[in-house]
């Protein structure tokens, strides 16, 4: 019985590539959400709602471009910088996945055509 519990515990907390990818995505979104909820992120200095910050951070990391509030007028320079950083991280993720897919399909990755 104790052996089964140990195996279950090991499998739950084992580091799998898919689990690492999902956790990294969630961590970036949550960090972006936290930074966007800070009063320094909004132009008027007020706190941003959790749903607005979460939606904006998720949209930025996924590089979809959907927004709830007008980015140019609502967010301060700090908030726009956070959104820019989230877009960059999302873009790096897309390029990494595309490179891995090309490597998987062709067997090698070349820069020349």
The residues spanned by each domain of the chain are: 13-106
pLDDT above 70 coverage of the chain, percent? 84
Tokens 């930074």 correspond to 35
pTM score of the predicted model: 0.78
Backbone angles phi, psi at 25, to 5 degrees: -60, -45
Using alpha carbons, list the distances in angstroms from residue 14 to 1, 38, 43: 20, 34, 43
Look at residue 67 and give its three-state secondary structure. Answer: coil
d(CA 106, CA 50): 43
- Please answer whether residues 65 and 102 qualify as being in contact, where contact means their C-beta atoms are separated by less than 8 angstroms: no
Backbone angles phi, psi at 42, to 5 degrees: -95, 150
Write down the CATH number for the domain with range 13-106: 1.10.287
Residues in the chain: 113
pLDDT in tens, 5-36: 677 666 666 667 777 788 889 999 999 999 99
Higher-scoring residue by pLDDT: 52, 3: 52
């Amino acid at each position: 019985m104790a052996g089964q519990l140990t195996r279950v515990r090991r499998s739950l907390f084992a580091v799998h590539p898919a689990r690492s990818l999902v956790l990294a995505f969630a961590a970036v979104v949550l960090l972006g959400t936290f930074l966007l909820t800070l009063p320094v992120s909004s132009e008027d200095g007020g706190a941003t709602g959790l749903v607005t910050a979460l939606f904006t951070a998720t949209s930025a990391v996924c590089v979809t471009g959907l927004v709830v509030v007008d980015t140019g007028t609502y967010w301060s320079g700090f908030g726009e910088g956070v959104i820019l950083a989230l877009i960059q991280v999302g873009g790096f993720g897309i390029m990494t996945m595309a490179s891995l897919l090309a490597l998987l399909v062709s067997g090698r990755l070349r820069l020349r055509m």
